[in-house]
Chains A and B, each alone.
Chain A
């Protein structure tokens, strides 16, 4: 085997082992992390020789009846007879029914997180009584699982060590059929376990993805379809530093995670469809919406933006590549590997449940009442994302600042390049606050610091400040590139230059500056200083001015132009409608009085989905239809595109518009269920719309795959755009320009390229001289 094959195979091996191993982490006796789910947080010893027995279990249960169970741990190696304290512990789970304390044992055992465990007092025993009340449905089989621990107690181990050594865990497992299920007397109804659904969907997705990779490899060169060829091909993608190839990697990655994030959204929308639903448990709901938010922002929106920035920025400014190609590749792979850390928890059934905002003091607290064990991994993943974004941010800014071809002055730069420049400047100046904030959080969870622990004078609000100092610029980081795309698309589609170019640039820069002094509006109800609250109110409202300038400039661009309705135009027009609505609902929040009412309701959810889906996602979809021909040399199918747009646009409004009303009526966000029956009607409608919207994205996936080989072929400039990227071939060569081009005048350059662009379209029948 040659060297490359060994490298590729060993890397793939590690990745697949990691994928296969993560779901197994729950079966490790101490659970995931140092604060396992199988006992109190203080025990981390390994598997041992302890025997766990449960007495009092019937042959079959009767619905609703209570049973007294006795759980005993015994271990001949660890004496328990002569010592009086800290002898054992247990954790008892059942897949259905409820636990309660046994008679005379109320002080010794307690219910926690759907299972049973001992109290501090119960720590001194090796046998405990609990009651278990059977569920009403007798047609099912209940699975029992108990983890028991024999400790060698105070007599041997000092209390301050809390039995970190001398622990030995054992496991008990049993199945108990209901009376009706006994002997096949009833049809068993297996309830879908949402975790399994999610993991199966993700695993299935990854398997499909791997198959697709092999298929793409095959289609690229059917004759070279062998292992050597495959490793060579994989090596090319794993080691590439070319901006176009890294851009493609970013795109594939982001699209995959867009779908995964969508699966989570659909799962918890099913949970919220009707009042008092129990499809998901609280913990599942919490970790699903946490993963949904983080995935969509960090693993879908930002990589998709990075994909287009990678592809288009060097082409638009006439550079051969980015300033630091290897750093660029590093940024991508950091992002790709961080997803393992983010998803490690949820794959093991202990997903982070701290929302994408990761608020202290919940996120930093450990143990029973604290955030789940997967949170530590999740926070580590966020730190890695921070490294990734810093690397790519420095790279893009350096590229735009230093690599512009002669003639591409600041005020001649295309607006997409401007938007990426401003967005990355914001990103890399605000990210340090997040990196340090999450590092504090990470140390609070791992090495015992107390940054956010109020009990020793720590400061949970510090987290909110650090997070939102990053978090608010972050929302502009994901919306500004969409502004850039829409500027490009609308001016090309309207066949005229964008109205008020300079005011567009100043508006972008203005948002870039203002974005740093508005973060307090996320914290108006947190008990912040009233003076600071007033300042943040005013600065937040100021942001509406540059944004308004942009909206009116786009409208003016349309007014004077003659519009061509291609699919990318439709998405840009859809963006204008939905983003404006999202912007208007956003103006409710800086008003502190209104915010007190709207805070943490579905009104907020409606607002930010209008700007993130109706803004960022629509903008990125527009970019996909607009630049796909440049990357591939073939257009996407316009009919499928129209279908995709119509369904998504209608379903998107159907999903998020009713949330405004629910929010005003007071439905809180981040709750796994609700008991107000009158909310069910709107929620069912939202769920149906969400499912339709989710499924509609498969049209785009199909379109992307199909058009790769079967799309309509196109030349350099299919849409009649006139920025520099349309002057190279489609797809562009590597490096992207053999000769660094000189930009003399935008329109002149375009006429010279003679590709049937703006000139000939505007002046039909008149040939350029």
Chain B
């Protein structure tokens, strides 16, 4: 989303990295110490760094002199270096969301139930049950499957049906968000709208790119089109965030589904991380819209919109997996 200097006549430095890093540090420091003041100062400095970065990026015209390098050799021969960079970055994003899913699935498949079960088994032994903790756990969860009847017998009734299941199904500490969300149509609606909003916004980004690359259009018409499509994308993204926050609010206040339960921790942190990705995308989008507003896009530098689009598509794709896994399953 930016270019880098490759000036043959001495290189220009940039203040952006050191300022943004200082901002990040102060932000994290303030957050750790629960000091909203320092957090706000840190964020301000971070944004200052971002602005410094964009200021250098604004005159970018897509020429090699301004940093658009072509790749040599396999496997990216002929491709722009920045495009390869974005794809590589997205690979690490895949791992980020892969970690979220891995941890979530581990919880949902009861891998970690062992831990609570061991405590209960010890309690049962203290209360007179025969066997060891290991043997009771083995009886209760042979090969990670639950054997309710055998378990109840082995623990003298301590670990009974209510340990594993609530009336609505999953274990007591596993009241997952999907239980509440799928309860009726009106709670499911915001998530459904969000899904379509994101998919649609992925489409409008492509339309913006297509308009920017269209050499047949009058420059003024083209700029206006690019700006409008990008603005629609921004609005759809904003709609997504608003509905998301509304939905969180609903879950917390109407269903008492808070972050202090295990399933709540996973739900809020995972969807929140995705929300942060959307938000960062919107922040960058405002810069793109500003550049469109001053007529900064043409067929020579429109690939920046394409690279932004790759990121935006990824955020969309991540949602398409998060939605069924966290809202429906």
Binding site for B on A (CB under 8 A): 7, 11, 14, 32-34, 44, 235-236, 238-242, 320-321, 323-327, 329-330, 332-334, 336-338, 340-341, 344, 376-377, 379-381, 383-384, 387, 390, 393-395, 397-398, 401-406, 408-410, 428-433, 435-437, 439-440, 442-443, 446-451, 453-454, 456-462, 465-466, 527, 734-735, 738
Contacts and interface: CB of A to CB of B under 8 A. Distances in A.
B192 to A, nearest CB: 27
Given A327-B4, A394-B89, A462-B103, A432 B22 contact: no
A450 B6 contact: no
Contact of B25 (A337, A401, A461): A337
A408 B89 contact: no
B260 A241 contact: no
Given A239-B15, A325-B4, A451-B265, 4 more contacts: A241-B14, A321-B6, A459-B107, A738-B8
Nearest to A396: B88
A402 B10 contact: no
Nearest to A458: B262
Contacts of A436: 96, 99-100, 103
A7 B265 CA distance: 41
B324 interface: no
25 contacts: A238-B13, A240-B11, A241-B13, A241-B17, A324-B81, A325-B5, A326-B53, A337-B22, A377-B29, A397-B88, A398-B84, A402-B73, A403-B72, A428-B91, A429-B91, A429-B92, A440-B103, A449-B269, A451-B103, A454-B115, A457-B173, A458-B265, A459-B106, A459-B115, A735-B8
Interface of B: 2, 4-6, 8, 10-18, 20-22, 24-25, 28-29, 31-34, 53, 69, 71-76, 79, 81-82, 84-85, 88-89, 91-93, 95-96, 98-100, 103, 106-107, 111-116, 119, 171, 173-174, 259-262, 264-266, 268-269, 273
A380 B18 contact: no
Given A435-B96, A457-B173, A11 B22 contact: yes
Nearest to A336: B21
A401 B95 contact: no
Contacts of B171: 457
Q: Is the interface of A mostly helix, strand, loop or mixed?
A: helix
A151 to B, nearest CB: 19
B6 A320 contact: yes
Interface of B is mostly: helix
A44 B34 CA distance: 10
Nearest to A44: B34
A450 B260 contact: yes
A334 B265 contact: no
Contacts of A239: 13-15, 18
Contacts of A458: 112, 262, 265
Of B53, B112, B259, most A-chain CB atoms within 10 Å: B112
B84 A402 contact: yes
Given A326-B53, A330-B16, A735 B11 contact: yes
Contacts, number: 231
A332 B13 CA distance: 14
Contacts of A408: 73
Nearest to B263: A457
A448 B73 contact: no
B1 to A, nearest CB: 11
Contact of B269 (A240, A324, A443): A443
Contacts of A394: 85, 88-89, 92
B96 A398 contact: no
Contact of A432 (B82, B98, B260): B98
Which among B74, B119, B269 has the greatest number of chain A C-beta atoms within 10 A?
Answer: B269
B112 A403 contact: no
Given A437-B99, A454-B119, A449 B259 contact: yes
Contacts of B17: 241, 326, 329-330, 332-333
A236 B84 contact: no
A241 B5 contact: yes
Contacts of B76: 401-402
Contact of A406 (B4, B72, B75, B81): B72
